[in-house]
Amino acid sequence: MWAPALFVLLWSTGFVGAKYGLPDAEPFTFLALRLVIAGGLLAVAAAVTRTRIDRQQVGRAAVSGLLLHATYLGGVFWAIAHGTPAGVSAVVVSLQPVLVAALALPLLGERLVRLQWVGLVLGVAGVVLVVGPRLGGAVPVSGLVSCLVALAGGTGGTLWQKRYGDGIPLLWGTCAQYGAATLVLAAASLAVEHQRIHWTPHFVGALAWLIVVLSWGAVLLLMVLLRRGTASSVSSLLYLVPPATALEAWLLFDEQMALVSVLGVAVTAAGVALAVRGPSPARASTAADEHV
């Protein structure tokens, strides 16, 4: 019961870490450094546990890493670093649960009941209410495109991980994800960036937080949740990330929340509560019979 709430709390702090760290490092350089350190330490932990991973599992984990880390995180970080408001980025990538739900039936055989679809729609509405008052100003086209790339990567990575991730050792599999993502992000850094890092206390703190809390805690929790639940229900938890981030910004940076944003938090929570509810056994069997 505690794992979904903890995942949302940890994942939402990624925007705070990005806000602290990106002024002192370019996005691809920042992410490549973060993932190579996180992956190296995970490799040590995996070696200590003496678990094994075969070549096919490495390949499948690498695809997840390219989608979830290189494409999703790379797209979001690049957009924010180049002037896209974090709220806009949050709204775009928060469409992921709808895309996952729409694709989960043909790709994974997951069927949502009507109340779950209502929950998905409420989730979108709630996120818009939360971040809507913060969306003033022009949005660069390149940043919007980058967010759409991130959205595609997160959606594809969630579906791929749900379909092929079961059975892959958790530590070695995540390490392989980070290794594949690091290679792509490092290549992107060499191609378009200068690899300059200002080792300020803010940057070191943000880097340490993103490694320990996000790359270890939140990502490992995501892998566990995808093994236990459907891709649609797990993905719907991402609706709670923008409201949680808004609350954290209010507590940490004294960023005021409009009344409509407070209402949006409640709407989002209600939407997620409906979306994560699976069909009753009777409905599930009826749906299965109708689908035969």
Residue 114 pLDDT > 80: no
pLDDT of residue 70: 95
Give the per-residue pLDDT at 227.
Answer: 82
This prediction's pTM: 0.78
The pLDDT of residue 199 is above 90: yes
What's residue 117's pLDDT? 73
DSSP conformation class of 197: B
**DSSP secondary structure string for all residues of 205-268:** HHHHHIIIIIIIIIHHHHHHHHHHS-HHHHHHGGGGHHHHHHHHHHHHH-----HHHHHHHHHH
Average of pLDDT values for 104-114? 70
Mean pLDDT over residues 199-224, rounded?
A: 91
- Whether the pLDDT of residue 115 is over 50: the answer is yes
**What's the start-to-end Cα distance of the chain, in Å?**
33
pLDDT confidence tier of residue 79, bands split at 50, 70 and 90: confident
Which is higher by pLDDT, 164 or 132?
164
Among 130-134, 156-160, 165-169, which is the least confidently predicted range? 130-134
The residue ranking higher by pLDDT, 62 or 112, is 62
Confidence of residue 281 (pLDDT cuts 50, 70, 90): very low
Give the pLDDT confidence score for residue 273 in this predicted structure: 66
Cα(54)–Cα(57) distance, integer angstroms: 5
Asked whether 116 and 270 are in contact (CB, 8 A), the reply is no
Is pLDDT at 266 greater than 90 in this prediction? no
The whole-number pLDDT of residue 147 equals 86
More confident residue, 211 or 246: 211
According to the model, what pLDDT value does residue 65 have?
95
User: What is the pLDDT at residue 274?
Assistant: 66
Q: What is the rounded distance in angstroms from the CA atom of residue 147 to the CA atom of residue 153?
A: 10
Q: Is the pLDDT of residue 280 over 50?
A: no
Burial of 1 (0-12, 13-18, 19+ CB in 10 A): exposed
Comparison of pLDDT for 26 and 2, the residue scoring more? 26
Q: Tens digits of per-residue pLDDT, 216-254? A: 888 888 888 888 777 667 777 776 777 777 677 667 666
Sequence-separated (6 or more) residues with CB below 8 Å from residue 68: 153, 154, 157, 158, 161, 177, 181, 219
Structure tokens at 229: 């639940």
> Average pLDDT of the chain?
80
Q: Does 78 score more than 70 pLDDT?
A: yes
Query: Higher pLDDT residue, 3 or 232?
Result: 3
Domain map (residue ranges) of the chain: 2-291
Higher pLDDT, 98 or 146: 146
Strand partners, 25: 197
